[in-house]
Amino acid sequence: MVTVEPASAEEAPAETPTRSKAVGREFLETLVLTAVVFLGIHVVAQNYTVDGHSMDPTLANGQTMWVLKLVYWFHPAHTGDIVVIKYPKDPTQDFIKRVIGVPGDKVAVHDGHVIVNGVALIEPYIMDMPDYTVPTFTIPDGNYWVLGDNRNNSNDSHIFGLVPAAYIIGQAWLTYWPPTLWGLVPQASFPNLPAPAETPSPAEQGVFVPARS
């Protein structure tokens, strides 16, 4: 008769408390690292999905992109930049618009044209020419003026007024959804635009008057 002896403690060692602690520590470290990476990414960038048609034809309803928050840490927003902002009337909402006027700029809208510092902007990206009028005013320090590319179907600065610099979240950068629209978000530049006044006086700043049709 063959006798089978039970395995000794040395042959089948039980998991030690030290090993259990090591596994737990590694799991916790992984969670912490994941959280740090996640938070780090969202410090410099965030995703945003276009809701509505105010940026037609440049950006479509439902189009999703990455927005660079880091870029405006190093320089201010420029005329022509597409930016995500906090809605001044309700900062819990985010809007996407194009920067039209920067601090010191003299801005007006009339006869279907946006006028900045006396020059009519050439804007091939807009849906239609604006059918409203905005009297000339000067943008005060620390504020911006933004419009949607679908000028006559956009809740933007011609309605709600100026946008404080602190309300600019970042610059639209890379669109990735839907895949057929993958690519860099098209910005605009106006290198020949006259420079804004460096320090407009309170008298020069005037008062913004909402647009009238």
Structural domains of the chain in order of their starting residue, each with its CATH number: 46-205 (2.10.109.10)
Predicted confidence at residue 207, as pLDDT, reads 57
Rounded to whole angstroms, the Cα distance separating 77 from 166 reads: 11
Is a pLDDT exceeding 90 seen at residue 21?
no
Predicted confidence at residue 44, as pLDDT, reads 72
Q: For the segment 60-89, what is each residue's pLDDT rounded down to a tens digit?
A: 999 999 999 988 989 999 999 999 999 999
The active-site residue, picked from 54, 69, 106, 154, is 54
Rounded to whole angstroms, the Cα distance separating 9 from 168 reads: 66
- Compute the mean pLDDT over every residue in the chain, rounded to the nearest whole number: 84
Predicted confidence at residue 37, as pLDDT, reads 47
* pLDDT classification of 173: cutoffs 50, 70, 90: very high
Predicted confidence at residue 195, as pLDDT, reads 86
Is a pLDDT exceeding 80 seen at residue 48?
yes
How large is the average pLDDT for residues 151-170?
Answer: 97
The active-site residue, picked from 69, 97, 106, 157, is 97
More confident residue, 56 or 3: 56
Listed residue (24, 55, 11, 8) closest to 149, CA to CA: 55
How large is the average pLDDT for residues 1-14?
Answer: 52
Q: Are 120 and 113 in contact (CB under 8 A)?
A: yes
Neighbours of 52 (CB within 10 A): 16
Residue type, 43: V
Q: Show Cβ contacts of residue 7 under 8 Å, excluding neighbours closer than 6 positions.
A: none
Its pTM stands at: 0.77
How large is the average pLDDT for residues 29-47?
Answer: 60
* pLDDT classification of 38: cutoffs 50, 70, 90: very low
Q: Map residue 82 onto helix, strand or coil.
A: strand
Active site residue 54: yes
Is a pLDDT exceeding 60 seen at residue 177?
yes
Listed residue (153, 99, 97, 157) closest to 128, CA to CA: 153
For the chain, how far is it from start to end, CA to CA, in angstroms? 106
Predicted confidence at residue 7, as pLDDT, reads 52
Is a pLDDT exceeding 80 seen at residue 200?
no
